Amino acid sequence: ARKAAALRFSGFASEKTIEKKTQELKDWLAKEKLKARGNFITARYNPPWIPWFLRRNEIIVGVS
C-alpha cells in the first residue's frame, strides 16, 4: 500500500496539457506540504474514438 496524489482532467492529454497539469499538481503538493516520491505518471483512460470532452485523464504521483 502507498499514498498517492492525483489530478484529474478531461480533454486531450497533449504534452503541453500534461506539463501544465503536472505543474498544477506540484503547486498543490507544495501548498499541502506534501513531498512527491517517484515520477509523475500520466494515465489516459479512454480509447481514441471517445470525443475530447468525454475523455478522462490523470496525473499521479506517490507522496509522503
Question: Grid coordinates standing for 64?
Answer: 509522503
Q: Please give the pLDDT value at position 1.
A: 80
Q: Residue 30 CB: number of other CB atoms within 10 A?
A: 11
Cα distances from 18 to residues 6, 10, 13, 33, 63, in angstroms, run 13, 11, 6, 22, 19
> What are 1-55's pLDDT values in tens digits?
889 999 999 999 999 999 999 999 999 999 999 999 999 999 999 999 999 999 9
Burial of 59 (0-12, 13-18, 19+ CB in 10 A): buried
Distance between terminal CA atoms of the chain? 12
pTM reported for the whole predicted model? 0.89
